[in-house]
Structure 1
Amino acid sequence: MDADHGIAGVKYECLLFDMDDTLYPMSMGLNLQCRHNIEDYMLEHLHIEESEVPKMCLDLYKEYGTTMAGLKLLGYEFDNDEFHAYVHGRLPYEKLKPDPVLRNLLLSMPQRKIIFTNADQAHAVQVLNRLGLEDCFEGIICFETLNPPKEPKDDDDMVIESAEFNNDNNLRDSHIICKPSLEAFEAAIRIANVDPNKTIFFDDSTRNIETGKAAGLQTVIVGRSDLVPGADHVLSSIHNIKEAIPEIWEVEVDNIKGRIQSQGLEAMVLA
């Protein structure tokens, strides 16, 4: 994708954000409910033995990045949109409230800001709308970006499309590209057209952070108090960005380092 790579003098050109359990805390409970919905789908639609479902769901998530990716590789056949509608369609989105503090922080950052999530388009748009952050990001790299559907959707303008992957439908059905695979990170870097050395990646997953670092990104683990392998910074909450990484707002003009004032740079944000 072609885009302005920020303003002169800024150390970082792009901020790449995971969404779930990163832009809002895990305590909201959507993660747990999502796992329950996946287990119900495995039981009701794939007819997997009830006693095997919980362990299988967790094991596949740990092995392949998402349970869905693991199920596909094991040969289970199901429609991706149907799966996402079932798993995300019953989430308690009403628990997510507008976050004006985070919104103001994001709008005060001069860099490009992009969502990078394993979730599908509908879920990503729903979450950002609920948080009041829908206009804080240039675009969304989501499930459909890395795994283009056979038939084009009526896409939201924010969702970044990609046609660079194998067009073999059978291959795409069985091989899902998602974090924490290096393939997913390298694809996101190409699609967003960013320099990884000048890009900061925020995520709550230690596995994603490790791969992000391997892909050359600057990394920030969110929702913890201790550094993990591959992390350059740690945030107990996404709201602590300014205290932990003040250089996001620092610019060098004629070799003099200054600080960008915290004002909504809405003109730089693309819907």
Structure 2
Amino acid sequence: MIARLAHVRNWIFDLDNTLYPARTNLFARIDARMTRFVADLLGIGEAEAYRVQKDYFIGHGTTLAGLMAHHQVDPHAFLDYVHDIEMDVLEQDAPLAAAIARLPGRKLVFTNGDKPYALKVLDRLGLGESFEAIHDLHAMDLVPKPAASAYRGLCDAFGLDPAECLFAEDMARNLKPAKAIGMTTLWVDNGSEQDPDVDRAFIDFTTADLSAWLHHILEDQ
């Protein structure tokens, strides 16, 4: 392990557009269903629904959080609807699975999605046995990243010392609260960032290819 990461005992990964490349456009399918959900709920056209959806995403962390705050939407109904997609664009990623297996310590998934969806994604990627647990939106009491409570809850749930954690995530803004409590941060800058932040001081490492980066930090093992 490279010296700068010798302290890491807990490896925490976001799911969408982190454990698989944004270029698969899997999340675009979810995004389209979110727009359709908002359009049907509010009785508006898809262009206006997309605007509302993104306003909620930026203002509340997720579209769902905004819908719950403003329209009392049932989170289970929303998540079941938006995650009802084909996953044929995902392929098994043996090099990533091998790299994660070599990481010393615990490995966790930390996602604003729900566990059933995460399990399906991990299975498609060949990562079904790679992680100890999935800390999902329900485990966050429906208060998603980047809310500080989501990160505290993760650490409390698994007895994690933030100073011994690395968190990898494609949304740069979701790394800021992790850094604030002492985690090492890895930004997977693969083109999915939707809320750019001029201040990147909270990012310790950046990569466009998670698998290649993990193999690089492990090359001396």
- TM-score using structure 2 length: 0.88
Say whether residues 1:216 and 2:182 are aligned partners: yes
Residues 1-271 of structure 1 aligned to structure 2 (within 5 Å): 11-44=7-40, 46-50=41-45, 51-74=47-70, 76-89=71-84, 91-147=85-141, 176-224=142-190, 228-242=200-214, 245-246=217-218, 259-260=220-221
1:106 alignment partner, SS class: helix
CA contact (8 A) 1:98 1:131 kept: yes
Q: Which has the higher helix share?
A: 2
Deviations 1:151-204 (A, max 9, x none): xxxxxxxxxxxxxxxxxxxxxxxxx31001111111111112111111000000
Q: Is the Cα contact below 8 Å between 1:17 and 1:202 reproduced in 2?
A: yes
CA contact (8 A) 2:140 2:149 kept: no
For 1:98 and 1:244, the matched residues in 2 are separated by 20
CA–CA distance in structure 1, aligned partners of residues 215 and 204 of structure 2: 14
| Alpha-carbon distance in 1 for matches of 2:63, 2:108 | 24
Partner residue, 2:3: none
Deviation at 1:207, TM superposition (A): 0.5
Greater Rg by CA: 1
Query: Percent of pairs identical after alignment?
Result: 28
Query: Structure 1, residues 53-102: CA drift from partner, whole Å, max 9, x if none?
Result: 1111011101111000011111x13322211111011x231111110000
CA distance in 1, matches of 2:36, 2:207: 33
Separation in 2, partners of 1:38, 1:14: 32
> TM-score scaled to structure 1, two decimals?
0.72
Query: How much does 1:215 deviate?
Result: 2.2
Check whether the contact 1:206–1:229 (CA below 8 A) recurs between aligned residues: no
Cα distance in 1 for residues equivalent to 2:154 and 2:43: 33
Checking the alignment, whether the CA contact within 8 Å between 1:42 and 1:53 is kept in structure 2 is yes
Offset of residue 30 of structure 1: 1.5
Q: Is the 8 A contact 2:38 2:49 kept in 1?
A: yes
Q: Distance in 1 between matches of 2:152 and 2:217?
A: 24
For structure 2, the 5+ residue unaligned runs are 1-5, 192-198
Give the aligned CA root-mean-square deviation in angstroms. Answer: 1.8
* Structure 1 contact 103–132 (Cα < 8 Å) conserved: yes
4+ runs of 1 displaced by more than 3 Å?
242-246
CA–CA separation in structure 2 for the residues paired with 1:97 and 1:115: 19
1:170 maps to which residue? none
Partners of 1:61 and 1:70 within 8 A in 2: yes
Cα distance between partner residues in 2 of 1:85 and 1:15: 28
1:20–1:146 CA distance, 2 compared to 1 (3 A) = same
Post-superposition shift, 1:244? Answer: 5.0
Counterpart of 1:263? Answer: none
Stretches of structure 1 that go unaligned for 5 or more consecutive residues are: 1-9, 148-175, 250-258, 261-271
Alpha-carbon deviation of 1:128? 0.3
Contact in 2 for aligned 1:221/1:228 (Cα 8 Å): no
Q: Distance in 2 between matches of 1:244 and 1:101?
A: 12
